[in-house]
Structure 1
Amino acid sequence: MSLATNMSLEDTSHPGGPGPGELVPSRYAVQIGEIEVLVISDGVLPLPTTMLAHNAEPAVREAWLNHMFLPQDSLDWPLNVVVARSGGQTILLDAGLGLDPDLHLPRAGQLIKRLEDAGVDLASVTDVVLTHLHMDHIGGLLVDGVKERLRPDLRIHLAAAEVKFWEAPDFSRTRMPPGFPDALRATAKRFVNEYRSHLRLFDDECEVAPGVVARRTGGHTPGHSVIRLASGGDRLTFAGDAVFAVGFDQPDWHNGFEHDPEEAARVRVSLLRELAATGELLVATHLPFPSVCHVAVEGETFRWVPVFWDY
């Protein structure tokens, strides 16, 4: 079994093999029944800690950061992308930041290089599933030269509501740093224009490959979706931006990138309760790499239970 002709689970599942010049691993493999899953780090995105919870009292937010041994002013948000292989298809779940849209984010946008380091040939990717059209989820496909290396019959699966939203996006309820709304709007518009012929839109749910199902949740953005991988009794959900690290302890805190904060909180609580009930694995874009974890209920909140790394 392999994700590409020169890549196998055997030589990617061990986290001790960073690429040249890297001191830390940037890929981690998990087997979900017959589905091969590879989590790849796209780097980190430094953002103000106020983005974690703009509806929380500053002292309460500061106390949480202290409790988690995190800095008060700026925090490096991880960026995780997933590659899955099922039924002869190689599927990319989100595509990372890819390029720096004049926002000075030099440690993000590592996906294309790290796919190459992992032996994943862009030409082997048959499908892309996008959780939403924020630039840190689509930018990797806009890097110069990438589109020419992709298959001409590449299918990009995305909720129709997401494309509709970005025709005239509403940022009135977000709390983003300066420059981000304009960059998000421009990147989403460019992406839809460049890849329109590849888009395969769905309303509520779409089976992309055997055991790989995308489901629209809304909340973070109107068309935000999560992707569930299921095979042989094993399950893993890639939650995109439905779950952040702070969301286990404080699921009602509003993230600055959420276009409908109340709905996003409702989606988050519902999803975390579902994952706690099923016991399945969770991977999310902005959980610390490699993100793979379980969810447990802790009273009215939740507990994040990272898996033991498989060496």
Structure 2
Amino acid sequence: MSHTDFAHSHAPGHDELVPSRYALKVGDIDVMVISDGVMPIPATTLATNAAQDDLATWLDDMFLPPEVCNWPLNVAVVRNGDRTILVDSGLGTQFPGFPRAGQLAMRLDAAGIDPGSVTDVVLTHLHMDHIGGLLVEGLRGRLRQDLQVHLAAAEAEFWNAPDFSHTVMPAPVPDVLRKTASRFLDVYRSQLRPFETEYEVAPGVVMQRTGGHTPGHSIIRLESGGDQLTFAGDAVFQPGFDKPDWHNGFDHDPEETARVRIRLLTELAANGGQLLATHLPFPSACHVAVAGNAFRFVPAVWEY
């Protein structure tokens, strides 16, 4: 499917009142960002090391609610040559407490993307909102038998005995994360293709382990025809531009995550590459600019 097909693909009966897919090009590589929906998160999760007044001021400045924020969930589909690569899979529908998430299967259909055409899955990490979609029958049962699932070896190893001692999550979450990751590894073990530090999934599509958010957290870099785009997973949350040293409650190593984030944003500000991230407002496509001692989110201009 060409970029034009991506941008105009449509399946009757799937119209929604909000946009849920956005197509862009990185040189010869086609990318489609797909919204898996949103999930409510306590606002305090966004800045566990910030003073309460500082967080309240930031939320007010951003016109965000003071108690609970809707956390966007972005997934990407990347096509290059004969490879169709799914980047993460959203939450899935097995968590009734999050009824507005888990939209991936429906929205793939709406975009005219057959799950059976996916040759590879790349996973930034094994938190449930990145792998849950691959565990529900609406998607899992439609995937090809020879599907390859790429993730950092350190990530698979971590979830054998995960350490939550530096996280600040709502009480039920760690156990659900542990159980979901364990189930995922059991279901997909024969299809896993772990890598150590860096792996080229397809020409111009490279996974790199950053660590920080989880020990095996990885980003995906696309490069073609002089264009660059980075899917940052959970290395960058919404406060990460103007408050890059704030810790997220889901960070397993908050200080290392901040270092990873600052290095990445500094690099993108210097080279002008585009950024996508899981939890930035849909479609999350943006550039990064330096703003004093921090950074500035510069939304991409949508192409129609």
Shift of 1:145: 5.0
Shift of 1:14: 6.3
Match of 1:115? 108
8 Å CA contact 2:10, 2:110 repeated in 1 = no
1:86-165 aligned at under 5 Å gives the runs: 86-102=80-96, 104-165=97-158
| Matched AA of 2:39 | L
Q: Partners in 1 of 2:298 and 2:195 — Cα distance?
A: 32
Shift of 1:299: 1.4
Shift of 1:15: 11
Q: Partners in 2 of 1:276 and 1:19 — Cα distance?
A: 41
Shift of 1:66: 0.8
| TM-score with structure 1 setting the length | 0.95
Q: Partners in 2 of 1:35 and 1:12 — Cα distance?
A: 11
Matched, 1:61 2:55: yes
8 Å CA contact 1:216, 1:224 repeated in 2 = yes
Gaps of 5+ in 1: 3-7
Change (3 A) 1:209 1:16: closer
1:242-281 aligned at under 5 Å gives the runs: 242-281=235-274
8 Å CA contact 2:121, 2:150 repeated in 1 = yes
1:22-61 aligned at under 5 Å gives the runs: 22-61=16-55
Three-state SS of the structure 2 residue aligned to 1:39 is strand
Change (3 A) 1:195 1:218: same
Match of 2:277? 284
Q: Partners in 2 of 1:66 and 1:165 — Cα distance?
A: 37
How many residue pairs get aligned? The number is 304
Match of 2:289? 296
> Identity of paired residues, percent?
65
Match of 1:5? none
Q: Partners in 2 of 1:81 and 1:258 — Cα distance?
A: 20
Q: Partners in 1 of 2:13 and 2:236 — Cα distance?
A: 29
Q: Partners in 1 of 2:12 and 2:74 — Cα distance?
A: 16
Q: Partners in 2 of 1:89 and 1:15 — Cα distance?
A: 18
| Matched AA of 1:59 | D
User: How far does the alpha carbon of each residue in 1:80-126 deviate from its partner, in whole angstroms, 9 at most, with x for none?
Assistant: 00000012100001111012335x00000000110011011011000
User: How far does the alpha carbon of each residue in 1:9-54 deviate from its partner, in whole angstroms, 9 at most, with x for none?
Assistant: 3254369999635201100000111100000000001101000001
Q: Partners in 2 of 1:35 and 1:85 — Cα distance?
A: 6
Gaps of 5+ in 2: none
Change (3 A) 1:152 1:265: same
Matched, 1:76 2:81: no
Change (3 A) 1:300 1:16: farther
RMSD (Å), alpha carbons: 1.6
Which among 213, 219, 223 is matched to residue 220 of structure 1?
Answer: 213
User: How far does the alpha carbon of each residue in 1:122-180 deviate from its partner, in whole angstroms, 9 at most, with x for none?
Assistant: 11000000000000000110002533321111110000000010000011110111211
Which among 196, 206, 209 is matched to residue 202 of structure 2?
Answer: 209
Shift of 1:276: 0.7
| Matched AA of 2:118 | V
Change (3 A) 1:273 1:178: same
Match of 2:226? 233
Q: Partners in 2 of 1:131 and 1:18 — Cα distance?
A: 32
Change (3 A) 1:31 1:18: farther
Shift of 1:185: 0.4
Q: Partners in 1 of 2:179 and 2:47 — Cα distance?
A: 25
| Matched AA of 1:212 | V
Matched, 1:20 2:28: no
